[in-house]
Chain A
Amino acid sequence: MSARATSVLGASLIASVLASLLIGLPALAQPSPDAATQASVVARVAALPATVTVNLCAKAGSLALPGAADPVPIWGFALDPGTGCGDAQLPGPTIDVTVGDTLIVNLTNQLDEPVSIVFPGQSEPPDMVGAAPAGGTTTYTLTPASPGTYLYESGTNVSRQVPMGLHGTLVVRADLPGTAYGGADSAYERDAVLVLSEIDPRLNADPNGFDLLEWHPTYWLINGKAYPETVALPVEAGDRVLLRYANAGIDHHTMALLGLHQRVFARDAAPLNFPFDAISETIPAGQTADMIATVPAGAAAATRFPVYSRNLHVTNVNAFPGGMLTFFDVQASAALPVVGIVPELLSIKTVTPRAHRVRIAARVAECKPCKATARLRVRGVWRSLSMTRRGDTMIALFRKVPSGRGTYVVTIRDIDSGVRVTSPRRSVRVR
């Protein structure tokens, strides 16, 4: 991984871009969490409808909160990638599918009480049985028919299980990548899920005994974190940022931006007939909303745009700053031709001892629209491929590359300006 490329993009964005590329996903500007504890389930590999299987466990865990002496106990959904249940997460793993996919969710219950999952907005009948305590299992099969942002949450003992953490989001992507609902009016450069929730630690200490009439939260979270632990969203000047708000809490939350408006495009995954621009918009408990905020074209690098609760739940208990507060963090954009193109070798995969797949990338943020060509020479033979775009990166995949030493080079051409830049040659050893 080139150090120069890291300086151009936020490190977290590069990590999520590469992580998703290696699994063949469109790049997400999701707050890039610690992979071990906040794994996202990714589904899309091909353009055809897929069957996506997600194995979840409902289990107890804990959540550290800023300023709290001890982590609070939670109940959360954990991902089982096949090697056993991971740690309980709050919120649960984001399930990411494309409209038309078949989604199978296998639930294993490691709690002492029954649990289930409901999928508001999906047309399958709700589960009235659930999974039995201490190892019971159940399976849900869904075919999300409409794109949008949805919640999933426990359907059992809901007043306690949902605020304890048994909730997450289901993102159903549109057929047209880079749009929320399939049209140019919902196109975006970055998207981010923002799960809103609250914690009253007294409930967490005694989930089934706490008197809910005493509910009085003292922590407010975005994606399970309170400021300063919320993860800033890396963006670039001019980006349309799709904010997928999902209120998994039991309070309404009015979310505001400073320095820009957010276009309220859809509520509960239903696009509005007349989207409108808001500074501050309320997402009621249990609702989702898709809002698109456009970062001003002239925004300088390191500018930060606050995204925060305008009910002013911006404290951790009583300490400011805290709570439901994060920022858009404007990144420096690569500019042509001041910064040269740096081609990167992403991966070499050995199919047979004599045939390898070599994946090469180059970052082209300022080149829009862009044509890029990657050339790879191994054992004296040049191969040339047109690169395809994934977000701000162009990628080429060479197949059946023999073993041996070689070099690679990338040329990009900005179509509007005609500027063409060729990278330095890099060496490679394919084996």
Chain B
Amino acid sequence: MSTKTRRRLRPGLLVAIAAVLAATLPSAGSGPAGAQPSSTSVVCTTGTTFDLQATDGYMSTPDGNSVYMWSYAPEPGDLQLPGPTLCVNEGDTVTVNLTNRLEEPVSIVFPGQSGVTATGGSPGLFTAEAAPSGGTVSYSFVASEPGTYLYESGTEPDKQVQMGLYGALIVRPQGHPDWAYDDARTQFDMSREYLLVIHDLDPALHSAVDRGRPYNVTAMHDRYWTINGRSFPDTIADNNVPWLPSQPYSALVTIEARDPASPGLPALIRYANAGMLNHPFHPHGNHLRTIARDGRLLEGPGGEDASMESFTRTIGSGQTADLLFSWLEVDAWRSDGSNPVPVQIPGLQNLVFKDDVTFYGGSPYLGETDELPPKTTSFNECGEFYFPWHSHALNEFQNFDEGFGGLATILRVDPPGGCP
């Protein structure tokens, strides 16, 4: 970011970040595949029949703003962004009952599902709609293909999807909850499954809806960008932190470094873009392997592997993608002199951290910490590595023109065995 636009993190924001991290750094417990998911893993609402409502409320931004939102929520329940992540199994007949607590008709469409039938409601342009103030409608379909999908409003979507009516649907292959698709090549570490649902919004449009003023989509000027309904640094707080009641899902990705000789199973990252814009998502410093798009495995006509690695991936509006990721300690730098980092490590007097805050632990060796310059506040626990994962449309890496923020999260790589 250019020096002209750099801003100092305001002290209040700094304290907020410290509070976020001190209170909610995920427990660095490690274990073999099948161990307890971390406190930032995907949160599933399981079943085959789901009772949802369309409701309204407010969500929080890290710069202290409240934005009026609409969302799907459990019935009964309160506003949540994104809507509940519905997790079903391949072949299930899924029923979604929607009660409309808003004052305009709403609906749900299920991109990627075929043969969706609707009962009740009244016919709308894309699907049947629930009438305002208590109307209901029910949708049913067979989830015949595993994958990551969105569900979102089919009623005036340029307004309602912007307002927050979106969520994710995960279909797991029958008999293989630890596979992403009906293919053994898509097996992943079940304790490392992450869902990142992206959205973009203009708070002025939301304010207009809140106050009953006309909604003018042609005046749209986004100011906030979210992953799982939160803007960075809220994205890295745990699932269900009490101070983000409308935004229960974390976007922090935590994995453990592995020995290349025994890599184990990769983490599974599910991307979904519910926003109106395409977003170039950049997992900084790492390649991830995209194995599927829009709920379909990438393969050739003869089953050839057509997966691909990249470090930036544009996720188009309405698209989903599934990616496998491992962090292998291929370099195996060691501080005992047997395999040192082949660069001169700067002395303390040459280290400066922006606002004297850092995630760096003082040592470039995974699992070790070392001295930092005086006055530096470090959030590092035990020498784990951190990488920012963020939109590379850098205007989106901010909260209302204040960086860092917006469409960003962090990858945390723990040393093998995790932090003690």
Instruction: Say if A and B assemble together.
Output: yes
Between A218, A310, A311, the greatest number of chain B beta carbons within 10 A of the residue's beta carbon is seen for A310
Identify which of residues 336-376 in chain A touch chain B, using a CB-to-CB cut-off of 8 Å. none
Interface residues of A toward B: which range?
A: 20 to 34
Chain B residue numbers with a CB within 8 Å of A273 are 300, 306
Rounded to whole Å, the gap between the CB of B50 and the closest CB of chain A is 20
- Tell yes or no: B318 within 8 A of A by CB: yes
Q: Which of A274, A280, A313, A321 contacts B125 (CB 8 A)?
A: A321
Is there contact, CB below 8 Å, between B278 and A282? yes
Is there contact, CB below 8 Å, between A260 and B294? no
Is there contact, CB below 8 Å, between A320 and B159? yes
Rounded to whole Å, the gap between the CB of A275 and the closest CB of chain B is 8
A277–B294 CA distance with the chains assembled, in angstroms: 7
Chain A residue numbers with a CB within 8 Å of B109 are 258
A54-85 CB mask vs B (1 if < 8 Å, else 0) is 00000000000000000000000000000000
Between B112, B156, B159, the greatest number of chain A beta carbons within 10 A of the residue's beta carbon is seen for B112
Is there contact, CB below 8 Å, between A259 and B114? yes
With A276-B298, A278-B294, A306-B126 as known contacts, state yes or no: A298 contacts B158, CB within 8 Å. Answer: no
B85-114 CB mask vs A (1 if < 8 Å, else 0) is 000000000000000000000000101111
Instruction: List the A residue with the shortest CB-CB distance to B149.
Output: A279
Rounded to whole Å, the gap between the CB of A273 and the closest CB of chain B is 7
Is there contact, CB below 8 Å, between A277 and B296? yes
A39–B111 CA distance with the chains assembled, in angstroms: 35
- Tell yes or no: B216 within 8 A of A by CB: yes
Q: Which of A278, A296, A313 contacts B114 (CB 8 A)?
A: A296
A277–B149 CA distance with the chains assembled, in angstroms: 13
Is there contact, CB below 8 Å, between B318 and A256? yes
With A279-B294, A279-B319, A312-B276 as known contacts, state yes or no: A258 contacts B125, CB within 8 Å. Answer: no
Q: Which of B116, B294, B320 contacts A259 (CB 8 A)?
A: B116
A306–B114 CA distance with the chains assembled, in angstroms: 12
Is there contact, CB below 8 Å, between B299 and A254? no
Is there contact, CB below 8 Å, between B300 and A278? no
Rounded to whole Å, the gap between the CB of B268 and the closest CB of chain A is 19
Chain A residue numbers with a CB within 8 Å of B304 are 274
Is there contact, CB below 8 Å, between B111 and A256? yes
Q: Which of B162, B214, B216, B306 contacts A274 (CB 8 A)?
A: B306
Is there contact, CB below 8 Å, between A280 and B111? yes
Instruction: List the B residue with the shortest CB-CB distance to A259.
Output: B114
With A216-B218, A276-B298, A282-B314 as known contacts, state yes or no: A314 contacts B158, CB within 8 Å. Answer: yes
Rounded to whole Å, the gap between the CB of B85 and the closest CB of chain A is 18
- Tell yes or no: B301 within 8 A of A by CB: yes
Is there contact, CB below 8 Å, between B111 and A252? no
Rounded to whole Å, the gap between the CB of A24 and the closest CB of chain B is 35
Chain B residue numbers with a CB within 8 Å of A254 are 278, 316-319
Identify which of residues 7-35 in chain A touch chain B, using a CB-to-CB cut-off of 8 Å. none
Identify which of residues 237-296 in chain B touch chain A, using a CB-to-CB cut-off of 8 Å. 276-278, 293-296
- Tell yes or no: B29 within 8 A of A by CB: no
A244-284 CB mask vs B (1 if < 8 Å, else 0) is 00000000101011111100000000000110111111100
A257–B218 CA distance with the chains assembled, in angstroms: 23
A274–B297 CA distance with the chains assembled, in angstroms: 11
Q: Which of A258, A274, A312, A317 contacts B317 (CB 8 A)?
A: A312
A185–B300 CA distance with the chains assembled, in angstroms: 12
With A256-B111, A279-B319, A282-B314 as known contacts, state yes or no: A312 contacts B278, CB within 8 Å. Answer: no
- Tell yes or no: B403 within 8 A of A by CB: no
A321–B126 CA distance with the chains assembled, in angstroms: 11
- Tell yes or no: A157 within 8 A of B by CB: no
Is there contact, CB below 8 Å, between B217 and A315? yes
Instruction: List the B residue with the shortest CB-CB distance to A275.
Output: B301
Chain A residue numbers with a CB within 8 Å of B316 are 254, 280-282, 310
Rounded to whole Å, the gap between the CB of A247 and the closest CB of chain B is 13
Is there contact, CB below 8 Å, between A318 and B216? yes
A282–B313 CA distance with the chains assembled, in angstroms: 13
Identify which of residues 303-327 in chain A touch chain B, using a CB-to-CB cut-off of 8 Å. 306, 310-315, 317-318, 320-321
Please list 6 pairs of residues, one from A and one from B, whose beta carbons are closer than 8 Å in the complex, sorted by A's number. A254-B317, A256-B111, A259-B116, A276-B293, A282-B278, A306-B125
